[in-house]
Structure formats: structure tokens, C-alpha cells
């Protein structure tokens, strides 16, 4: 073998090693559910688990991992009895000779997707134009230019707020709102997770979250499996969107944002193979009229609904009257439940962990001061893990606050918001500045859910107790709120 061939093989081997190392680092960022030990894993929840989680203090939950039974929520690791209950959907399928090959596990990043999906779903009437513009840009190429001069103030406010959220999470690579012309200029990231979100993933998440909230609020016992890839007894492969067992009875939901015509008959046939009653198999199609949904329900052996009436279909499926629909609020306020603020920050993967945060900040400043070349925060995390006493999950949440606070800069002084992109310096080597940026991350998470939260002095006291630090003054909070919600606000690059 020649030297050139040897060098070529060595370069391939080194590249494989690099890829393997990157995959290991990325995996380390994911919080896997504690029940991932078993191949028979499902997403589960019961009202008792949810209530127990909300009533626990921050300290009691500090070392727990994310259980996919609740969207992004931290709950107790189930005992054997609860874990057996969590296998109910899997067992229900296998009892019918159906093989479960795979399914979607939830992770820490689901909190971001869930937040965006709920915002889009709850305000879809106002957001349909910007949504369609982004979706069209992803399929046809080019950037988004949307003039809102003929739109209502609420549509402008919702559209610009949504774009600001998308930009803050790097779903948009660029965003600008021109106030004089009332025009949005944006460019979506053309990566798989963004494309999947806009081509239907958001709608599936929205429907799931609404049903999840509805079932919890009505105190119904249920388990759930998301996106199970299955094989029917005849060997045909199939994928379901969401399969619940509610009081041990199946509730199957499929979600479509378009081109439903080619799927109605397929789902109708699959329902028969699954053995699920027609009333408990619901196809939710975005933006179709109630007349069409009613006619399709009559024509095919499946219940068809739209984004406005699907809860009525679910009410009927689980045997509840329509006046019980109001029991399930879409977005409870932070103060609606005990431990609401801690739960919110947990769901956003921003546990404050004040007992370790200052140590992490100091160690990070020392480490960055010694850098001679750019590194990623993922690489830094592995070093910090050996220097601080915080658990890996606690360290992850502290670093999330640092990254989202805009503390990392590249060689050009631009903010780095990715765990895998290299950065070369911090916005400051003063620990107090980094601490204030972290607290601003917590403030933003609160404002996105409850914009008026800090107008109540008792809420400020609670915030300071939970985060273990001083809240910004009202001038700073108002500025942060304007950056998030004002139609004419420029994206925050700080």
C-alpha cells in the first residue's frame, strides 16, 4: 500500500473519530427519560404524578431528569408499579399482534418546540400569513418578505412576536421588522428540525399538548405513545402520530396541515386493523371547514375534525359533555399552581440552581481567560463538569441560561447561541455581569408566558427567592418585554 493510500485511510479514520466524538458530545446534551432502560417505553402520565411534581420544591427536584409523560416537565422517577402502567400502550398494541419498532422520546429541547407550537396554534388565525410565508420559503427557497400594512394591530403584534421568538431560538437566521412600511423581512434556517416543525410537526405538538392538558385537568387516567413506528400483523409498516389509552380505552389522533385527501382512506383502513372505534379515531386537519369535516366523517370510517372543533370530538370520545371543555385552560398562569415559577423554568430547561451558579460562572470566566483558540460550550461543559459539584443536568441548565443570555461571543463580536458553535470570549469577565445576563434569561422565560408577572411586587419576591438573585429593575424588565413583544422592536442581539 502506498504512502498516499495510507495517508488517505488515516484521514478517513481521523474523520470517523471526530464524528464519533461529536455524536457523544451531542448525546450528552440530551436528557433521556429515566425509563429508557426498557425497550417497552411509552410516554405516561397520571394526575397524581403531575400534582406531585408541582408540589415538590426546587431542591427536591434538583437532580431529577425529564420524564416524557409531561411536556418538558420534571417529575419523580416512577416506581415499578408506575413503570408497568407506562407500558400500557405498548402492551395494548402487541396484544393485537402489532410490533412497535420505534417511537419518539421527549428531551430537554422539547420545551422550545412546545412553546412555539402552542403560540402558533393558539394564534393561528393571526399567524397564518407569516406561517404560510415561512413554509413557502422553506419549500421554494429565498427569504420571506411580508407586508402587513393592511393587517390588524393584533395580527401585526402576533406576527412580529412570533418572529422574535423564532429568531431568538435560531429558527430564523435573520429577522427585521420595518415599522414605517409594516414589512417583515426574514430568512428561515433550512435545517431538518426547522423544516419538520413548519411542515407539520408544530401542529402535531399543538394537538398533543391541548389533549394532554385537557386530560390532566379533567383528572382522567391515561398513558400515551408519540410517533410509534409499527408493523401490522400482515407485515405492513405504519406510523401513528399520537396514541393515548384513556381509562384503558384507545384514543388515536392523526394531524395534517395539508394534502389530507390522500390520507383519509389510509387512516380509515388502519383504524379497522387497530380495532379502534370510529369515534375514538380522530383525524385533525388544519384549516378545513366544519362542513367538510362533517362530510368526511360521514363518508369514511374515521372521525374528521379541524383545529377549532377537535376538542369536541375528543370530549365525545372519552364520554364527557361539552360544558366540561372549559375545565382545561390552554395556558394557566404561572401563579395558578403551587411551584408554578419553578415548574416554568424547569420546562424551559432553565433551573436556576443558585447554590452552584456562581461557582460555574467563576470557573467559566477562568477557563475562557486561558483560551488560545475558539471552543464550543459543549467542550467547555465537559471541563466544567470536573471542576464543579453540580450534577450534569444542573450544569446544563446553568449553561443554558448563560448561552441564552447572550454571554458568548465569536471572534467578530457576534453572539453565539449554539452549544456546538465555537466562541472565543465572553461579554464580560465580571461575574456580576454574567450573573445579570443569566437572570435576564429567567426573566425572558417568565415574560413569554406571563407578560405582566413582574407588575405584582409579591411575584418579584417569589422570583428572587426561586432564582436566588436580584430581579432587574422595572426599567430593564420593561425593555426586555418590549424586545419580546413590541411590533417595532428590533431583534435583541445582546
DSSP assignment string, 152-186: -HHHHHHHHHHHHHHHHTTSEEEEEEETTTTEEEE
Which of 282, 304, 330 is the last residue in one of the domains? 330
pLDDT at 13 > cutoff 80:
no
Same domain, 219 and 153: no
Same domain, 61 and 204: yes
Distance in Å from the first CA to the final CA of the chain: 55
**Residue at 255 is within a domain:** yes
Instruction: Give CA–CA dist 107/263, Å, rounded.
Output: 29
Q: Can you give the CATH number for the domain in which 360 is found?
A: 1.20.120
**Residue at 149 is within a domain:** yes
More confident residue, 291 or 483: 291
Confidence at 106, pLDDT banded by 50, 70, 90: low
Which of 175, 194, 213 is the last residue in one of the domains? 194
Same domain, 224 and 118: yes
Domain that holds residue 361: 334-485
Same domain, 343 and 402: yes
Same domain, 348 and 218: no
Least confident of 72-81, 170-179, 450-459: 72-81
Q: Number of helices (H) and strands (E), helices first, in the chain?
A: 19, 16
Confidence at 489, pLDDT banded by 50, 70, 90: very low
pLDDT at 268 > cutoff 70:
yes
Instruction: Give CA–CA dist 332/347, Å, rounded.
Output: 14
pLDDT tens-digit series, residues 24-51: 444 443 333 322 333 333 333 333 333 3
DSSP 59: G
What is the CB neighbour count within 10 angstroms for residue 139? 10
Q: What is the pLDDT of residue 9?
A: 55
Instruction: Give CA–CA dist 472/439, Å, rounded.
Output: 8
Instruction: Give CA–CA dist 440/73, Å, rounded.
Output: 22
Instruction: Give CA–CA dist 45/336, Å, rounded.
Output: 20
Same domain, 384 and 265: no
Same domain, 136 and 250: no
Least confident of 98-102, 201-205, 246-250, 337-341: 337-341
Same domain, 314 and 445: no
Instruction: Give CA–CA dist 240/476, Å, rounded.
Output: 46
Same domain, 467 and 368: yes
Nearest CA-CA partner of 283 in 262, 264, 261: 264
Same domain, 175 and 260: no
Same domain, 419 and 360: yes
**Residue at 27 is within a domain:** no
**Length of the chain counted residue by residue:** 494
Instruction: Give CA–CA dist 151/253, Å, rounded.
Output: 34
**Residue at 29 is within a domain:** no
Cβ distance 436 to 402 under 8 Å? Answer: no
Q: What is the pLDDT of residue 212?
A: 86
Q: What is the pLDDT of residue 333?
A: 56
Give the best-scoring range by mean pLDDT among 71-80, 319-328, 443-452. 443-452
Identify the H or E element spanning 447: helix 431-449
The C-alpha R_g of the chain, in whole angstroms, comes to 24
Identify the H or E element spanning 250: strand 249-256
**Residue at 25 is within a domain:** no
Instruction: Give CA–CA dist 375/422, Å, rounded.
Output: 5
Q: Which residues of 440-462 are buried (b: 16+ CB within 10 A; e: fewer)?
A: bbbbbbbbbbbeebbeeeebbeb
Same domain, 353 and 230: no
Describe the crossing of helices 431-449 and 457-467 by its angle, rounded to 10 degrees: 130
Mean pLDDT, residues 373-378 taken together: 91
**Residue at 472 is within a domain:** yes
Confidence at 361, pLDDT banded by 50, 70, 90: very high
Which of 306, 330, 354 is the last residue in one of the domains? 330
Q: What is the pLDDT of residue 90?
A: 85
**Residue at 20 is within a domain:** no
**Residue at 13 is within a domain:** no
Mean pLDDT, residues 126-145 taken together: 94
Q: What is the pLDDT of residue 82?
A: 35
Instruction: Give CA–CA dist 432/358, Å, rounded.
Output: 9
How many domains does the chain contain in total?
A: 3
Cβ distance 338 to 54 under 8 Å? Answer: yes
- Residue 492: helix, strand or coil by DSSP? coil
Amino acid at each position: 500500500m502506498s504512502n498516499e493510500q495510507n495517508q488517505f485511510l488515516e484521514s478517513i479514520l481521523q474523520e470517523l473519530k471526530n464524528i464519533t466524538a461529536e455524536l457523544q458530545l451531542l448525546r450528552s446534551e440530551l436528557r433521556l427519560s429515566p425509563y429508557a432502560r426498557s425497550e417497552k417505553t411509552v410516554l405516561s402520565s397520571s394526575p397524581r404524578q403531575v400534582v406531585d411534581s408541582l408540589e415538590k420544591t426546587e431542591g427536591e427536584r434538583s437532580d431529577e431528569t425529564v420524564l416524557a409523560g409531561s411536556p418538558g416537565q420534571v417529575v419523580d422517577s416512577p416506581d415499578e408499579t408506575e413503570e408497568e402502567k407506562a407500558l400500557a400502550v405498548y402492551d395494548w398494541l402487541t396484544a393485537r399482534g402489532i410490533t412497535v419498532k420505534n417511537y419518539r422520546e421527549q428531551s430537554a429541547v422539547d420545551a422550545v418546540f412546545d412553546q412555539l407550537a402552542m403560540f402558533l396554534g393558539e394564534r393561528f388565525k393571526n399567524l397564518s400569513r407569516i406561517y404560510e410565508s415561512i413554509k413557502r420559503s422553506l419549500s421554494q427557497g429565498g427569504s420571506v418578505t411580508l407586508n402587513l400594512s393592511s393587517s390588524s394591530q393584533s395580527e401585526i403584534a402576533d406576527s412580529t412576536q412570533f418572529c422574535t421568538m423564532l429568531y431568538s431560538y435560531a429558527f430564523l437566521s435573520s429577522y427585521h421588522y420595518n415599522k414605517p412600511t409594516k414589512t417583515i423581512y426574514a430568512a428561515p434556517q433550512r435545517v431538518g428540525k426547522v423544516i419538520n416543525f413548519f411542515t407539520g410537526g408544530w401542529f402535531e405538538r399543538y394537538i398533543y399538548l391541548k389533549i394532554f392538558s385537557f386530560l390532566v385537568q379533567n383528572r382522567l387516567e391515561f398513558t400515551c405513545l408519540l410517533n410509534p413506528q409499527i408493523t401490522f400483523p400482515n407485515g405492513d409498516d405504519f406510523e401513528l402520530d399520537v396514541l393515548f389509552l384513556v381509562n384503558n380505552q384507545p384514543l388515536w389522533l392523526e394531524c395534517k396541515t395539508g394534502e389530507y385527501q390522500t390520507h383519509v382512506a389510509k387512516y380509515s383502513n388502519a383504524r379497522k386493523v387497530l380495532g379502534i372505534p370510529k369515534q375514538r379515531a380522530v383525524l385533525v386537519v388544519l384549516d378545513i371547514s366544519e362542513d367538510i369535516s362533517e362530510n368526511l366523517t360521514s363518508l369514511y370510517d374515521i372521525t374528521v375534525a379541524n383545529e377549532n372543533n377537535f376538542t369536541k370530538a375528543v370530549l365525545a370520545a372519552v364520554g364527557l359533555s361539552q360544558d366540561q371543555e372549559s375545565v382545561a385552560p390552554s395556558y394557566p398562569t404561572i401563579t395558578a399552581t403551587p411551584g408554578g415559577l419553578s415548574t416554568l423554568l424547569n420546562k424551559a430547561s432553565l433551573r436556576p440552581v443558585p447554590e452552584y451558579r456562581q461557582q460555574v460562572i467563576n470557573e467559566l470566566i477562568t477557563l475562557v481567560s486561558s483560551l488560545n483558540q475558539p471552543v464550543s460550550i459543549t467542550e467547555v461543559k465537559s471541563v466544567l463538569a470536573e471542576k464543579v459539584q453540580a450534577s450534569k443536568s444542573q450544569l446544563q441548565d446553568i449553561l443554558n441560561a448563560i448561552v441564552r443570555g447572550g454571554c458568548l461571543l465569536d471572534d467578530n463580536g457576534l453572539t453565539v447561541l449554539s452549544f456546538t458553535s465555537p466562541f472565543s470570549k465572553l461579554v464580560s469577565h465580571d461575574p456580576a455581569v454574567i450573573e445579570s445576563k443569566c437572570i435576564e434569561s429567567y426573566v425572558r422565560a417568565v415574560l413569554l408566558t406571563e407578560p405582566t408577572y413582574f407588575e405584582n411586587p409579591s411575584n418579584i419576591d417569589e422570583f428572587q427567592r426561586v432564582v436566588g438573585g436580584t430581579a432587574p429593575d422595572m426599567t430593564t424588565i420593561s425593555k426586555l418585554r418590549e424586545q419580546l413583544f413590541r411590533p417595532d422592536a428590533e431583534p435583541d442581539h445582546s
